[in-house]
Amino acid sequence: MQTEGDYDLTTGAGLIACPRCDALHIERELEAGETARCVRCNKVLAAPRAGAFTRIIALSFTSLVLMVGAVFFPFLEISRMGFGNETSLFGVVMAFADGALVPLTVALMGSIVGLPVLRAMLLVYTLLPLSRNRPPYRHAVRAFRLSEALRPWSMAEIFVIGTAVALVKVGGLANIAFGPAFWAFCALILVNAASDAFTSAATIWDAIEDAGLPTDGREMAAGRP
Amino acid sequence: MSATGENVTENNGLLTEGGAGHGGPVMTAHRAGLVGCRGCGRVWPEAETICQRCGNTLVLPDRRGLGAVWAWLAAGLIFYIPANLFPMLKTSTLGGLHGSSEATILGGVVELIHYNSYGVAAVVFIASIVVPISKFIAIIWLARVAGRPATVRDAHRRLHVYEVVEFIGRWSMIDVFVVAILSALVQLGFVASIHPGPAAVSFALSVAFTMLSAQSFDPRLIWRGLPLRSSKE
């Protein structure tokens, strides 16, 4: 147990190091709505928001529902000279499915569909007990670490912009119509962006610790607000 | 729920006020003989190797860690070469009667200029040629200057470059998605069809390796070269 404002320069207890520039800061409990920034490089160190966990859970469930729609409904339809073709998200991914391009299919599938779904589920697993003031599930630490590591590889929003560029390219060649899956995907990236805005990794780590997962015995004595 | 108070040496108030831009020496974990966890911010004695809170591996900000940056960067550069030599898209119109073409990245840009689509040509040129090459140059520069003596202003400039590289890395994947969407969508049998070329794979790999290279770069090295005494910044 650690009391607030108390620090030890030999063991590092009660201190926080900026992950981007290594500057040391004294750890302090933050009120919801406050934002702590590094004094040197201005990186946001923690930004707890009131009700953030419940909102992230709700947004994660929303994104799972939208993803089901995005995968199974038609994505785009094209027609020219009486020839028509409609494609779902699976169709897009399967474009690379012959021969040497198969690994790329797997990677695309992962970055567009797999990783966003996996991250949403990991966040729910980590935060569900915390939002109800229960002790976290057994693998919460591992789940949240994995979710953070996968963040840059989850590329749903890049895919949507890619769609826009592709449409400009074929716009002159044929008529294009958007299917419901396209709109589901657009909604999905907005939901993911909102979820990311509420996610403050440092705050979640503190919450996991405060909620009683046995970690390093350094949690603040003051507990949660 | 916790976060930071003031920096250890400088008692300049709460961080919610945003205290960036002072030029004095800042106490870092490294100078205190400690190591900070890059996952959750916890600080540990230098001898520790795993953060006991979040399970991340603790790494000292050391120039030796730049080996990984160079290795991934080399892989990214190698795959960028076939990405430009082989065709990205194979197009055939009217069953090949109207012509079928195999376009490399640069070829595609030239073709777009012929059709007077200057806007799209500029987007493709910037996304597939200017951005990847500037990213290579930026990472090479960062890895070379990291840990070298610097003023506070230099350090902030380097950090800025690092942030841009880190942000823009994933967006280069847009080209691969465009190829995938075009090949899935434009399957109009006799009228027109588009198939992906081998360059799509090497381009995707090049982007992924460059992302890994940027991720292996430790931004804390940027600040290692700052003078220990207060400068006149």
pLDDT in tens, A132-160: 888 888 888 889 999 989 988 888 888 88
How far A89 CA sits from the closest chain B CA (Å)? 9
How far A121 CA sits from the closest chain B CA (Å)? 19
Residue B35 pairs with which residues in a beta bridge?
A: B44
Return d(Cα A218, Cα A162) in angstroms, integer: 46
Return d(Cα A220, Cα B232) in angstroms, integer: 38
Percent of chain A with pLDDT over 70: 85
pLDDT at B189 (0 to 100):
64
pLDDT at B229 (0 to 100):
46
Token pair for A207: 């919450």
pLDDT in tens, A168-204: 777 767 777 888 888 998 999 899 989 988 888 888 8
B231 belongs to a structural domain: no
Closest residue of chain B to A209, computed from CA coordinates: B53
CB contact under 8 A, B34 and A203: no
pLDDT at A212 (0 to 100):
67
Residues B147 and B96 in one domain: yes
From the centroid of its chain, how far is CA B16? 29
Residue B28 pairs with which residues in a beta bridge?
A: A23
| Average predicted confidence (pLDDT) for chain B | 79
- Res. A222 pLDDT band, cuts 50 70 90: very low
The stretch B18-22 carries a mean pLDDT of 41
Contacts with A, B 7-46, CB within 8 Å: 7-8, 10, 12, 15-16, 18-20, 22, 26-30, 32-45
The stretch A2-25 carries a mean pLDDT of 78
pLDDT in tens, B135-176: 999 999 999 888 777 788 888 888 999 999 988 888 888 888
Residues B33 and B95 in one domain: no
CB contact under 8 A, B220 and A21: yes
pLDDT at B232 (0 to 100):
38
Mean pLDDT lowest among A28-37, B9-18, B195-204: B9-18
Q: How many domains does chain B divide into?
A: 2
Q: How many CB pairs under 8 A join A and B?
A: 296
**Domain segments of chain A as ranges:** 1-48, 50-210
B232 belongs to a structural domain: no
Residues B24 and B69 in one domain: no
Which residues of chain B are within 8 Å of residue A201 when distances are taken between CB atoms?
39-40
pLDDT at B99 (0 to 100):
61
Token pair for A134: 């229960």
**Which secondary structure element, helix H or strand E, spans residue A146, and what is its range?**
helix A140-150
Q: Rounded to a whole number, what is the distance in angstroms from the first to the last CA of chain A? A: 17
Which residues of chain B are within 8 Å of residue A205 when distances are taken between CB atoms?
39-41, 53-54
Residues A138-170 as b/e (b if ≥16 CB within 10 A, e otherwise) read eebbebbbebbebebbbbbbbbbbbbebbbebb
Q: Where are the alpha helices (DSSP H) in A2-114?
A: 52-72, 89-94, 102-109
pLDDT at B2 (0 to 100):
40
In A49-204, the DSSP E strands lie at 74-80, 83-88, 175-178
More confident residue, A82 or B95: A82
- Res. A110 pLDDT band, cuts 50 70 90: confident
Residues B115 and B214 in one domain: yes
> In this structure, what CATH number is given to the domain that contains residue B68?
1.20.140
More confident residue, B193 or B94: B193
Token pair for A32: 């919801």
Return d(Cα A185, Cα A180) in angstroms, integer: 9
pLDDT at A190 (0 to 100):
92
On whether the CB atoms of residues B43 and B52 are closer than 8 A, the answer is no
CB contact under 8 A, B4 and A144: no
Options 1.10.287, 1.20.140, 3.40.720, 3.40.50; which CATH number does A50-210 get? 1.20.140
For residue B22, pLDDT beyond 60: no
CB contact under 8 A, A21 and B159: yes
Q: Which domain holds residue B47?
A: 1-60
Percent of chain B with pLDDT over 90: 20
pLDDT at A2 (0 to 100):
59
Amino acid at B23: G
**Which secondary structure element, helix H or strand E, spans residue B192, and what is its range?**
strand B192-196
Mean pLDDT lowest among A171-185, B10-24, B34-48, B85-99: B10-24
Picking from B34, B175, B196, the nearest residue to A12 by CB comes out as B34
The stretch B202-217 carries a mean pLDDT of 92
SS3 B227: coil
For residue A216, pLDDT beyond 70: no
B228 belongs to a structural domain: no
For residue B98, pLDDT beyond 70: no
**DSSP designation for B148:** S
